[in-house]
Amino acid sequence: MSRTLVVTGASRGLGRHIAERALAAGYRVIGLARHSVEAPFPIHACDIGDAAAVKAAASAVGRDVELWGVVNAAGIAAMNLTLMTPAATAEKVVRTNLLGTIHVGQAFAPALVRRKGGRIVNFSTIAVPLALAGESVYVASKAGVEAFSRTFARELSGFGITVNCVAPGPIDTDLIAKVPPAAIDALVERQVIRRKGTPDDVWDVVAFLLSNAAAMVSGEVVRIGGA
């Protein structure tokens, strides 16, 4: 039986690319996204910032599959100086990026605990170590994801479950579509590898972290592009 993988943010962007590559690699893919769209795999409409909705989605998914892993690719950004960021925007970013990651972990990890094995891959950003001005709330939410993932990895280690983070630099998706090119160029110049990444660069790392070869890798952050 194919390994089942849940991918959040699967309707577009990196989440969609990861889901499609996972499907091609032989995984049975189930997506979560705010809105269900046409895709070569089922997508459950679910706002990961809503704990009750995530719990309901996990219940629906878990009835007829043996879950192998979860990839938390859903996320939003708010590019603005701290003093110019509305409270509602800050709350939405933290609710989606940090609380959403926690909600998904709480809802889906029990299935991995029951089978005594599996993989969780969360998403951070290279903006965390670079402490990019104008991205304070976004950076704070993703720094929280990294801290949560390290601790969650320790909590789940006795069950054969690994928890890791992937932290990409700039990639041409909707997330950076409104960021001035000069700002992207300046960010890339601060990376170890001075180019924008591609969705396949991200998938290659995610694929490794999902694999049997990564059984001894947990609580780590892989910074794609280097910082």
- Catalytic residue check, 138: yes
Provide the 10 A C-beta neighbour count for residue 103: 26
- Catalytic one of 27, 68, 108, 138: 138
DSSP codes of every residue in 134-172 = T-HHHHHHHHHHHHHHHHHHHHHGGGTEEEEEEEE--BS
CB-side neighbour CA atoms (13 Å) of 171 = 20
SS3 call for 60: helix
Angle between helices 51-62 and 100-115 in degrees, nearest 10: 30
* Closest by CA position to 28, among listed 38, 36, 19: 19
Structure tokens at 22: 């996972």
Active site residue ranges: 138
